Amino acid sequence: MPADETVIFDQPCPIRDVLDRIGDQWSLLVLEALSHGTLRYSDLMRGIGDISKQMLAKTLRRLEMDGFVTRKVFAEVPPRVEYSLSPLGRSFMQQVQGMIAWADANHRDIVLNRRAYEQG
């Protein structure tokens, strides 16, 4: 067992690259919201509740850039912009569903662990 496995994440590492985009506190939440259907910018603001305008815009731009989300602008007044999951995004969310189901099933244990830790 030579120690050549110390560097776990290689430079062009897909896991690292995708996780860096996903692991930013908001991306998964936005994708989850969109997985229920197309939403406008203000719908996402209201739905998520505690995201700032700036971060929502930034998160959406990145998700659009990576091809997870589709942005459709309507030339109306007041302006209307609709966001929805692309096929790639839907495909990704199928994977995430497993995680969400797991969270649902194990949330109780986690909360219990947290409480126990705080008291021990």
Partner DNA sequence: GCCTGATGGTCGTGTTTTTAGACCATGTCG
Partner DNA sequence: CGACATGGTCTAAAAACACGACCATCAGGC
Contact positions toward DNA, by CB under 7 A?
Answer: 1, 24-25, 40-42, 50-55, 57-58, 60, 71, 73, 77-81
- What CA–CA distances, in Å, run from 64 to 21, 48, 83, 111? 12, 18, 9, 34
Q: Is 16 in the site for a copy of itself (CB under 8 A)?
A: yes
Partner whose footprint covers residue 32, from DNA, a copy of itself, none (CB < 5 to 8 Å by kind): a copy of itself
Partner whose footprint covers residue 84, from a copy of itself, DNA, none (CB < 5 to 8 Å by kind): none
SS3 state at 80? strand
Return d(Cα 84, Cα 64) in angstroms, integer: 10
Please state the closest distance from residue 42 (CB atom) to DNA, in A. Answer: 3
Residues near a copy of itself (CB under 8 A) are 1-3, 5-9, 14-20, 22-29, 32-33, 36, 43, 46-50, 64-67, 88, 91-92, 95-96, 98-104, 106-107, 109-111, 113-114, 117-118
